[in-house]
Amino acid sequence: MAANPKTVMIVEDEPDAAELFAEMMRVSGYRVLKASASALAMRMITEQKPDVIILDIMMPDISGLEILHFMQREADLAKIPVVVVSAKSMPSDVRDGLDAGASIYLTKPVGFADLKSAVERALKDS
């Protein structure tokens, strides 16, 4: 484990998916934060400034796209890379996510290797 591990924040309302993603990131050596609601996520992103965010689009309170728009309006948050992991898989959904500021857009279900690779690529490109 690195002395100062990078922090991955997981914004996912499904508890099983959130814990699966969290465990994937923990075994990859990352520090993990989790938020199951968008309003909480926006507050945590502002306060914690994670190194990378794994974001679901379909959230119960505020869409993940709104979180991306919120981040783009804040200069210090706009630089944080975001990996979207969503069940919304139409080409227009992917385009909307990338246009809103996502670094990478993955569709569910996502495997360990693909998620780990996407997080590493987002961090490297940021």
> Residue 126: what pLDDT?
83
Number of separate domains in the chain: 1
- Domain extent at residue 73: 7-125
Cis peptide before 50 (omega within 30 of 0): no
Contact 83, 55 (CB under 8 A): yes
Q: Say if pTM beats, i.e. exceeds, 0.85.
A: yes
Question: Any idea what the CATH number is for the domain that residue 15 is in?
Answer: 3.40.50.2300
Q: Are strands 7-11 and 82-86 parallel, antiparallel or unpaired?
A: unpaired
The predicted model gives 110-125 an average pLDDT of 96
Is 1 part of a structural domain of the chain? no
**101 φψ region: left (φ > 0), alpha (ψ -120 to 50), beta (else):** left
Is 2 part of a structural domain of the chain? no
Crossing angle between the packed helical segments 15-27 and 112-125, to the nearest 10 degrees:
70
> Residue 54: what pLDDT?
98
Contacts of 117 (CB under 8 A, 6+ apart): none
Q: Are strands 52-55 and 7-11 parallel, antiparallel or unpaired?
A: parallel
The residue among 111, 28, 98 whose CA lies nearest residue 68 is 98
Instruction: Report helix, strand or coil for 13.
Output: coil
Is 62 part of a structural domain of the chain? yes
> Residue 4: what pLDDT?
84
Is 26 part of a structural domain of the chain? yes
> Residue 2: what pLDDT?
55
